[in-house]
């Protein structure tokens, strides 16, 4: 682990801290103070690896194989769920995250599954400063991109993802179906992503600039995440404006869906120029 990562581990606060007005915290950098050790340690209770693997099936591995992309950069590694699934499936994976606590946990998890994770401590906004080489695919999963609060940060991060890709690389990036939450209120099937049976993940505040989610554990502990509610068409437009030539969006892993149905959306964007 580099000195920078060690320092960042030491600097992470013990407890989440939102100040006297939690809904006023709308800052990109705040993800570092949200993923504190006690939340990171319990993240896997929330997502439940076995249930999540069942609900997602081979969607991501199939997408990558179908497009013949084998060298993958997971930019939102978290505790390592997708990196480990892809390592097990034989992909060449590098695992990046801006939060050092997450990377430590991911490394431990990979080891338990018999893999030595190649990890890089990197913030998306200056990803290419820390990540070497080019990749066939970048994955940014688990509703992670929602942590960016400024449009300039979103554009910058997408430009960094674009730049680390080979000339015909693909980006797979997902998000909650925020349109539905903003327009119709929250009603999750809890079938995907946050699959832990004894935990709940529900918004406690939603407006055009903030979705504040509460994650409640069986022992009464509660943790929070403040996120930016990305609308689907806005996200697709940002991806295209970065230079990606096409974007295909799936709803809960299905090609055909009604706008209000899915909990999660997955965008698959292609860098390759298509003269159609």
Q: Which residues bind ligand SAM (CB under 6 A)?
A: 31, 35, 47, 76, 78, 81-82, 97-99, 102, 123-125, 141-144, 147
How far apart are CB 167 and ligand SAM at their closest, in Å? 24
Smaller CB distance to ligand SAM: residue 42 or 168? 42
Q: How far is the CB of 273 from ligand SAM (least distance, A)?
A: 28
Closest CA to 134 of 170, 107, 98, 103: 170
Min dist CB 77 to ligand SAM, Å, is: 6
∠ CA 209-211-215, rounded to 5°: 160
- Min CB(260)–ligand SAM separation in Å: 23
Question: Starting from the edge strand earliest in sequence, which strands make up the sheet with 210-216, in order?
Answer: 200-207, 210-216, 222-227
What φ, ψ does residue 224 adopt, rounded to 5°? -135, 155
CB nearer to ligand SAM: pick between 31 and 244: 31
HEC profile of 77-119 = CCCCHHHHHHHHCCCEEEEEECCHHHHHHHHHHHHHCCCCCEE
Helix (H) or strand (E) holding 233: helix 232-242
- Contact between 9 and 44 (Cβ < 8 Å): no
Nearer to ligand SAM among residue 130 and residue 168 (C-beta): 130
Strand pairing category for 71-74 and 135-140: parallel
The pair of three-digit structure tokens given for residue 12, joined into one six-digit string: 């992470």
Residue 78 beta carbon to ligand SAM: minimum distance, rounded to whole angstroms: 2
Q: Closer to ligand SAM at the Cβ: 147 or 271?
A: 147
Other CB atoms within 10 A of residue 248 CB: 13
Round to whole Å and give the CA distance between 272 and 276: 12
Burial of 138: CB neighbours in 10 Å, binned 0-12, 13-18, 19+: buried
Residue in the shown chain whose Cβ atom is closest to ligand SAM: 142
Q: How far is the CB of 104 from ligand SAM (least distance, A)?
A: 11
Minimum distance from CB of 211 to ligand SAM (Å)? 12
Nearer to ligand SAM, 198 or 259 (CB): 198
Q: Nearer Cβ to ligand SAM, position 83 or 249?
A: 83
Residue closer to ligand SAM (CB basis): 158 or 269: 158
- According to DSSP, residue 200 is labeled E
């Amino acid at each position: 682990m580099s000195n920078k990562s060690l320092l960042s581990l030491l600097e992470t606060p013990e407890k989440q801290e939102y100040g006297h007005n939690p809904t006023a915290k709308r800052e990109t950098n705040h993800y570092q103070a949200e993923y504190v050790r006690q939340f990171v340690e319990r993240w896997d209770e929330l997502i439940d690896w076995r249930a999540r693997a069942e609900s997602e099936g081979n969607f991501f591995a199939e997408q990558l194989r179908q497009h013949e992309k084998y060298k993958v950069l997971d930019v939102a590694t978290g505790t390592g769920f997708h990196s480990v699934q892809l390592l097990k499936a034989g992909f060449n994976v590098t695992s990046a995250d801006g939060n050092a606590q997450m990377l430590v946990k991911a490394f431990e998890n990979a080891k338990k599954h018999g893999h030595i994770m190649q990890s890089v401590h990197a913030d998306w906004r200056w990803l290419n400063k820390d990540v070497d080489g080019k990749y066939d695919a970048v994955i940014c999963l688990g509703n992670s991109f929602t942590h960016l609060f400024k449009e300039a940060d979103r554009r910058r991060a997408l430009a960094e993802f674009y730049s680390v890709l080979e000339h015909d690389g693909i980006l797979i990036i997902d998000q909650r179906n925020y349109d539905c939450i903003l327009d119709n209120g929250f009603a999750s099937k809890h079938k995907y992503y946050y699959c832990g049976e004894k935990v709940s993940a529900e918004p406690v505040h939603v407006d055009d600039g903030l979705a504040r989610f509460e994650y409640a554990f069986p022992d009464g502990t509660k943790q929070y995440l403040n996120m930016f509610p990305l609308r689907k068409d806005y996200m697709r437009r940002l991806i295209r404006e970065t230079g990606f030539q096409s974007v295909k969006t799936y709803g809960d892993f299905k090609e055909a869906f009604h706008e209000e149905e899915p909990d999660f959306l997955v965008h698959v964007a292609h860098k390759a120029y298509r003269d159609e």
